[in-house]
Amino acid sequence: MKKESLMKTKDLRIIRLSDRPELKERMAQWFHEKWGIPLEAYQESMTATVRLRMIVPQWYVAMAGDTIVGGLGVIENDFHERKDLTPNVCAVYVEKPYRGRGIAGRLLNCVCEDMKEARIQTLYLVTDHTGFYEKYGWEFLCMVKEEGSDEEGRMYIHR
């Protein structure tokens, strides 16, 4: 199968966990495998989304057919010391064979629109990437220390 035929962008669906709660365990496992954060942490956050019908946290996946090809979440704090900069987009990931097709951009645009509808105008994001998020309307804000570490990450803002 040629790489181009793996997925056409129009065949991609962005799914919000609160709309498809039956995907909770599958999504938690997928994010756990990508980021190495304990599975229980994802399950707990996703349970709050589903059971408590919370706006934050919220989780999204991009699906090509029945395959999760990308995802991201919105949580209060993405393990950094600036508790005042909230909520945070986190765990942005697109599977390698699907990169370069605008999937991350579609996920980011979807979450920004979704949060604006919920009256959350400002989002934050911590990353080591330079130049990527700017393509989608994010602006560098400041450097932030990771919780319990001297390591710093780049904090971006989307308004």
If phi over 0 gives left and psi between -120 and 50 gives alpha, with beta otherwise, what is residue 58?
A: beta
Residue with more model confidence, 136 or 7: 136
CATH of the domain at 31: 3.40.630.30
Can you name the residues that pair with 64 across neighbouring β-strands? 12, 67
Q: What is the pLDDT of residues 71-102, one digit of tens each?
A: 999 999 999 999 999 999 999 999 999 999 99
Q: The tokens of 81 are what?
A: 């010391």
Q: What is the pLDDT of residues 101-147, one digit of tens each?
A: 999 999 999 999 999 999 999 999 999 999 999 999 999 999 999 88
Name the domain count of the chain.
1
The range of the structural domain enclosing residue 47 comes to: 3-158
**Is the model's pLDDT at 3 over the cut of 80?**
no
The pTM for the full model equals 0.90
